[in-house]
Amino acid sequence: VSVSLTDIRNTVGNVPMEWYRDFPHIGYNLDGKKIYKPIRNKDELDDFLDKMDNPDYWRTVPDKQTGSDVVLSDEQVQLVNRLQRGQFGDANFNEYEPQVEFFSRDVMLHPVTNRPADKRSFIPSLIEKEKVSKLVHAIKMGWIKPRRVEDDSRGRYYDLWANEDSSILARHKMHLPAPKIPLPGHQESYNPPPEYLFTDEERALWEQQDPCDRKLPFVPRKFSSLRQVPAFSRFIHERFERCLDLYLCPRQRKMRVNVNPEDLIPKLPKPKDLQPFPTTQSLVYRGHSGLVRSISVSPSGQWLASGSDDGSVRFWEVCSSRCLKTVQVGGAVKSVAWNPNPSVCLLAVALDSVVLILSPSLADRQVVLSSERLLSAPQEADANEGAGPVTWSETEGEELNHGIRLKIQHPKAVQQVSWHAKGDYVASVMPDHSSNLQVLIHQLSRRRSQNPFRKNKGLVQCVSFHPVRPYFFVGTQRSVRIYNLVKQEMTKKLQANSKWISSMAVHPGGDHVICGSYDCRLSWFDLDLSTKPYKMLRHHKKAVRGVAYHRLYPLFASASDDGTVIVCHGTVYNDLLQNPLIVPVKVLRGHEITHDLGVLDVTFHPTQPWVFSSGADATIRLFT
Amino acid sequence: MSQLQARFFTEDKRYIVDDVPFSIPAGSEVQDLSNVINKLLEANNASHSKVEFDFLVRGQFLRTSLSIHMDTEGSYDKTARIWSVEGKAVMTVAGHTDVVKDVAWVKRDGLTSLLLTASLDQTLLLWEWNSERNKLKARHCCRGHTGSVDAVATDPTGSKFCSGSWDKMLKIWSAVPTDEADEVEEPADRPRKKQKTQQLGLTRTPLMTLSGHNEAVSSVLWCDSEEVCSASWDHTIRVWDVETGGMKTALTGSKVFNCISYSPLCRRLASGSTDRHIRLWDPRTKDGSLVLLSLTSHTGWVTAVKWAPSHEHQLVSGSLDNLVKLWDTRSCKAPLYDLAAHEDKVFCVDWTESGLMLSGGADNKLYSYRYSACQTDAGA
């Protein structure tokens, strides 16, 4: 706005305008002369005419300071309008300019303030510390009493049910109110739709059924109007039944137990807690050319004897897998058994229909001497010895050089030999369906044999002596019979649920027996528990050929036609209350399946947690 | 310096030499023999380039521990053989009635040497070997064990030796050959055996018996001249005091111990077990069992371990997985070298004085290896 000399704005001074009311002038010009008010002698009429005619009337404004009328220009009018509307005066002003971000999230090169943070922003506040210490002092001096926390728990609430009888409480909890009567539906209507009425068959069915079986206790009837509805005949009956329901009918909550099926499975210990047990194959004893049917470890644990279908018995050194001795016996060997008496070194071999007693010279001189003494002929010669079913004979010449000492000739093929724990008696099995001469017990020192059984009770598969007591276990096809040798009678008959028992082993403690059968099952019998198996293990896929217990460690193993040996942990507890704990622990693989036969025999080392297994692939493997 | 006759055989057609006996100095080593062969081959074929040879010897089944410098081995053919370093069987030591399990040198002088053989027939024989005249004579037959003798070791002074057997006992015997027989009760019903003893030398009875193991003793050694260390199948290693005959400490493990070896340089005992680890123990610890280090790389039973006589960190081990491994105890994660020469199980390893390693195994072969010390640190 340019200031011209004639249009100086403030000619008045900073005084209120009513001081000039009575004067003819208003303001002064630069020279000091009075500026006279413009003549305004417009009366109402002129004013009205002015209003009508003057096109600029609406924007004419009297200026207080100069007294004249000012005609506003368009921009000024626009300015006034904007101000009246509450907008910014300047039309060009854009109040929505983008803000200059003064503080932004972008990290600028130079910060707004580079003032380092005060230490007081990191450490506990000093002002608060002062306040707190003042309060503490006040509390100590007793000026302020701290508010005690109210202990609401005691005394505020009275336990209503504290002294209540628990049986009453239980009854209250168990209370189930009678269910509400269902609201009447279409059946109960006095004019039901025709489909709710009974047809003749439904009617007949309804009458036939027992009252308690019926779905509806009444027959739906149809009446054309409410007036015609008769009195309900069963009214009292219905009410009475409801009352009986309410106060006489016992109801009980059905306790549904939410059982997690996994909780029912007993928690067995993990195998790695049950170490030591054999885990890997360590040695392979190669040398046989036919399938190895039977193996036996010496009581000292140094030697392993094996018999095979190629007609030889081999002696191996356990720790080096070297075959030290081979004895050709001239027939497929079905079973070998080492004498468990540690002061004697003898091996019983069953082949064809002969049982041979071998004396391998693998031991100390003293031991060999006592073996010889055991084998030497008895002084007294009984006359009726020759007439028995078996004949004893000593060997000479070539056979003697090999170590074979005695031959016991049987009438039929011998399947298995088994020693008594003391080492004097040996039992041999000749399976035959029809005869009663299936089991023979021989005494080495007196060279006597006897048949303990008179009747034939089934095809005998395997026999075993009890390790401690005078019992004799005979395993037939379906059951295991336990005989007391002293009383000469049968004490127990264990029924396995298997079709064909193949092998049997007795626990060294003498109270448990395991049987393996050709239908892939292994049954553990607890003799103190019952004659039925305590546990049946079905770990194998094919027939179980051999089972064995460890003498010292709580382990047992089973060998099967699927080429595996499964070692399980079986702890037996001394107290009669706890059942044995059976945990399968390792599957040992290594044998190859030859001609559908896998592992044929399994036995444990007497002192170390090692297991030997012999298979149809003509090898014996040691797992440690 | 005595000369030996040697014949060289090979199946490799490139390296065949004439099959005539050569006269080789007795002190030759693999390197010298290699030179001889190379010279012969060069004479035949002008374009032959120098090749390092290894020499193999054949015998019956081998299972023993080897001694230093001149090697003896016992084997399952009931004899022991003395080999020269170049690989020739110098002498066959026959006298046992059963398999020879272990051998040990008592002393090796220039002229006469004494050696011991331990066998399955429960006796030990002390032999005197005259290397000049190549004559061997059995001086003593040591009886007393009731089980096969599996391990024998001589003490550092050479005056005593200790044997361990399957009858769970250790027996200490004198190693000095004398001329009079020890008193021994001869059972009356064995006249045949009496004649045999006279052929095998005078009978000797043990000075002391150390009992305490619950199972067979698989390996014995002398820590110093008054201490014997034995490892057994009852999972323990026991240190015995020879003076009193009592047990000093017992280190318990969890598996059967197959073999142990002691190094006076680092005073550590290394043991091989029926699991695949070699464990290092400190025999001076007073408490039950503290395995210092466990070296794992074998995949079968470790049947033999031996510390290097000149290097305090090296040891060699043989195992049933046909491998011989050379270890440095400073890098325990992996062995320095895997020597895969055997085709069957390795049963024994040893070091010679000249720094050769030897190993014998079930494939009837005795291999010798040379390890040239590298300047680089073991970083395997």
How does pLDDT run across B1-44, given as a tens digit for each residue? 445 555 565 555 566 666 566 665 544 555 565 566 677 666 66
Percentages helix, strand, coil for chain B (3-state, rounded to 5) are 5, 45, 45
Residues of A in contact with B148 (CB under 8 A): 302
Q: Which residues of B touch A607 (CB under 8 A)?
A: 215, 233
Q: Is B252 near chain A, with CB under 8 Å?
A: no
Q: What is the mean pLDDT of residues A372-401?
A: 70
Of A3-7, A457-461, B124-128, B374-378, the least confident: B374-378
What pLDDT does residue A305 have? 93
Across the interface, do A282 and B233 touch by the CB < 8 Å criterion? no
**Ramachandran sector of residue A259 (left: φ over 0; alpha: ψ -120 to 50; beta: rest):** beta
Please report residues of B whose CB lies closer than 8 A to that of A624: 255, 274-275, 301
Q: Do A276 and B254 touch (CB under 8 A)?
A: yes
C-alpha angle with apex A322: A365 to B222, nearest 5 degrees?
Answer: 70
What residues form DSSP beta bridges with A537? A522
Contacts of A76 (CB under 8 A, 6+ apart): A59
Residue B344 with chain A: CB contacts under 8 Å:
none
Q: Which amino acid is at A555?
A: L
pLDDT at A202 over 90: yes
pLDDT at res. A522: 93
Percent of chain A with pLDDT over 90: 38
Compute the nearest-CA separation of A261 from chain B (Å): 39
Looking at residue A6, its pLDDT comes to 54
Q: Which pTM does this prediction carry?
A: 0.65
Check CB contact of B297 with chain A, cutoff 8 Å: no
- The string of pLDDT tens digits covering residues A474-507 is 999 899 999 998 988 899 999 988 889 999 999 9
Q: Which residue has the tokens 């004494």?
A: B114
CA distance B190 to B177: 26
pLDDT of residue B191 exceeding 50, the answer is no
Q: In angstroms, rounded to a whole number, what is the distance separating the alpha carbons of residues A200 and B331? A: 100
Q: Are the beta carbons of A349 and A335 closer than 8 angstroms?
A: yes
- Cβ contacts (< 8 Å) between A319 and chain B: which residues? 218, 258
Q: What percentage of residues in chain B have a pLDDT greater than 90?
A: 0
Match 């007073």 to its residue by tokens: B286
Nearest to B91 by CA among B137, B27, B152: B137
Please give the residue of chain A at the shortest CA–CA distance from B189.
A369
pLDDT at residue A396, rounded to an integer: 78
Give per-residue burial for B55-70: e unless 16+ CB within 10 Å, then b: bebebebbbbbbbbeb
Question: By the CB < 8 Å criterion, does B108 face chain A?
Answer: no
- Name every chain B residue with its beta carbon within 8 A of the beta carbon of A315: none
Q: Which of A276, A283, A607 sits opposite B320 (nearest CB)?
A: A283
pLDDT class of B56 with cuts at 50, 70, 90: very low
What is the token pair recorded at A420?
């008594």
Instruction: Report chain B residues whose CB lies below 8 A from the CB of A322.
Output: 61, 63, 76, 362
Question: Touching check for B258 and chain A: CB below 8 Å?
Answer: yes
Choose among B76, B146, B218: nearest Cβ to A322: B76
- Chain B partners of A365 at a C-beta cutoff of 8 Å? 122, 146
Strand partners, B268: B263
Cα–Cα distance, A511 to A527 (Å, whole number) = 5
CA A505 to CA A418: how far, in whole Å? 11
Cis ω before A111 (30° cut-off from 0): no
* Confidence (pLDDT) at A537: 92
Residues of B in contact with A320 (CB under 8 A): 63, 345, 347, 362
Q: Cβ neighbours of residue A427 under 8 Å, at least 6 residues apart?
A: A417, A418, A419, A420, A439, A440, A441, A442, A463, A464, A465, A472
Band (pLDDT 50/70/90 cuts) for residue B377 is very low
Q: Is residue B331 a contact partner of residue B296, using CB atoms and an 8 Å limit?
A: no
Residues of chain A whose C-beta is under 8 A from some C-beta in B? 276, 282-283, 300-302, 319-322, 324, 363-367, 607-608, 624
Let me know: does A466 contact A510? Beta carbons within 8 Å. yes
Contact B285, B271 (CB under 8 A): no
Q: Is the dihedral of CA B21, B27, B33, B39 positive or negative?
A: negative
Cα dihedral sign, A398-A402-A408-A414:
negative
How far apart are the CA of A363 and the nearest CA of chain B, in angstroms? Answer: 7
pLDDT exceeds 60 at position B183? no
Distance CA A196, CA A198 (A): 6
B102 bridge partner residues: B118
- Whether residue A419 is predicted with pLDDT greater than 90 in this model: the reply is yes
Percent of chain A with pLDDT over 70: 96
Q: Are B362 and A608 in contact (CB < 8 Å)?
A: no
* The predicted structure's pLDDT at residue B1: 41
Provide the shortest C-alpha distance from residue B352 to chain A (in Å). 25
Does residue B184 carry a pLDDT above 70? no
Sheet with A564-571, strands from edge to edge, namely: A544-549, A555-560, A564-571, A581-589
Give the distance, in angstroms, between the CA of residue B267 and the centroid of all CA atoms in the same chain: 20
Q: Dihedral, CA atoms, A78, A79, A80, A83, nearest 10 degrees? A: 120
- Cβ-nearest to B122 among A300, A322, A364: A364
pLDDT at A245: 87
Retrieve residue B168's tokens.
């769970």
Q: Do A366 and B146 touch (CB under 8 A)?
A: yes
Q: Taking 80 as the threshold, does the pLDDT of residue A377 lie above it? A: no
Tokens at residue B192, please? 């045949």
Average pLDDT score, chain A: 87
CA A461 from chain centre, in angstroms, equals: 40
Report CB contact under 8 Å: B166, A300. Answer: yes
Distance CA A432, CA A106 (A): 100
- Choosing among A281, A320, A326, which should be mutated to test the B contact, i.e. which has the most B CBs within 10 A? A320
Average pLDDT of the residues of chain B: 72
Contact call for A364 and B300, based on CB within 8 A: no
Parallel, antiparallel or unpaired: strands B227-232 and A333-338: unpaired
Lowest-pLDDT choice from A309-313, A388-392, A405-409, B231-235 = A388-392
- Tell me: pLDDT of A410 over 50: yes
